[in-house]
């Protein structure tokens, strides 16, 4: 069984993974957890993983989520690029119990999943959009990003962006205040240009990324300077 981020959410257990970053899932997608094991691995025609991810840095059999007697555990399956819990790496085949709010990172940031146990959280299970009920007019001046709608509002006005500009901004927002490498941008913004090969990177030059960032900054107007250049590495969206 493979999970689809668009499927109807089954919250019976009250425990789930939320996708912060991890194609082909949309940011904010929910993966319900039930008793048993869910394997995490790289998406390919012969994948056997329950949670199949597009990143070439994710191993075919990367990790497993174990739900047992109301508790949830994460275990790395000897992956090439490792698994981290709350930014701390741990050894292959070590089993770690997850607590509400824990962050699971695969392959040095290529994938980020957060664990939610609603029985231990005062968070309302009904997701709220970032736009006030009264509409844009009730918002303060500034830059607002609504990832669940792939929507951008600047100074109370919606901003229309092309697909690539939106893809880039949503990636940077998902990793806000964190460095995002050129390779990560290539993988998430240009997946259609992914060549064949296990460790392949889309055939996209850094100059093409620079041009896209330049255009996005211009579209963001006075807020364009929130996209910070990181020489010889990539970019970061700096938000306070």
Each residue's pLDDT tens digit, 168-214:
999 999 888 989 899 888 888 887 776 554 446 677 888 999 999 99
The string of DSSP codes covering 112-138 is EEEEEEGGG----SS---SS-TT-GGG
Question: In this structure, which CATH number among 3.40.309.10, 1.10.10.10, 2.40.50.140, 1.10.1740.10 belongs to the domain 143-237?
Answer: 1.10.10.10
- Number of continuous H segments (helices) and E segments (strands) in the chain: 3, 17
**9, two tokens:** 């959410």
Say which residue the tokens 């695969």 belong to.
Answer: 106
Q: How far apart are CA 7 and CA 32, in angstroms?
A: 10
The pLDDT, as a whole number, for residue 197 is 46
SS3 of residue 15 by DSSP? strand
Tell me which long-range contacts 120-125 makes (C-beta under 8 A, separation of at least 24): 125/11
Q: How far apart are CA 167 and CA 173, in angstroms?
A: 10
Global pTM reads 0.50
**46, two tokens:** 């012969």
Residues of the chain with pLDDT under 50: 1-12, 121-130, 133, 197-199
The pLDDT, as a whole number, for residue 141 is 73
The pLDDT, as a whole number, for residue 126 is 35
The pLDDT, as a whole number, for residue 124 is 37
The pLDDT, as a whole number, for residue 147 is 80
The pLDDT, as a whole number, for residue 119 is 62
Beta-carbon-side half-sphere exposure of residue 59 (alpha carbons within 13 Å) = 17
| CATH 2.60.200.20 domain locations along the chain | 15-117
The pLDDT, as a whole number, for residue 100 is 87
The pLDDT, as a whole number, for residue 107 is 92
Q: How far apart are CA 13 and CA 33, in angstroms?
A: 7
Helices (H), the chain: 163-174, 182-189, 206-219
Rounded to a whole number, what is the distance in angstroms from the first to the last CA of the chain? Answer: 40
Q: What percent of the chain has pLDDT over 90?
A: 38
Closest CA to 19 of 9, 31, 8: 31
Query: What is the CATH class of 15-117?
Result: mainly beta
């Amino acid at each position: 069984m493979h999970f689809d981020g668009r499927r109807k959410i089954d919250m019976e257990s009250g425990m789930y993974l939320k996708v912060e970053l991890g194609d082909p899932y949309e940011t904010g997608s929910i993966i319900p957890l039930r008793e048993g094991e869910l394997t995490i691995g790289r998406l390919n025609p012969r994948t056997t993983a329950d949670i199949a991810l597009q990143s070439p840095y994710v191993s075919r059999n990367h990790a497993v989520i174990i739900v047992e007697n109301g508790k949830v555990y994460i275990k790395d399956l000897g992956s090439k690029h490792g698994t981290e819990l709350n930014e701390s790496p741990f050894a292959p085949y070590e089993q770690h119990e997850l607590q509400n709010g824990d962050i699971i990172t695969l392959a040095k940031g290529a994938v980020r999943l957060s664990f939610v146990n609603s029985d231990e959280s005062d968070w309302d299970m009904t997701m709220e959009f970032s736009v006030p009920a009264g509409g844009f007019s009730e918002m303060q001046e500034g830059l607002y990003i609504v990832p669940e709608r792939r929507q951008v509002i600047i100074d109370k006005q919606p901003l229309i962006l092309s697909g690539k500009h939106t893809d880039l901004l949503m990636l940077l927002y998902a990793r806000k205040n964190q460095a995002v490498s050129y390779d990560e941008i290539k993988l998430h913004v240009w997946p259609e240009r992914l060549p064949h090969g296990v460790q392949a990177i889309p055939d996209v030059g850094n100059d093409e990324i620079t041009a896209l960032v330049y255009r996005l900054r211009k579209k963001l107007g006075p807020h364009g300077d929130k996209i910070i250049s990181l020489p010889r590495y990539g970019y970061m969206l700096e938000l306070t």
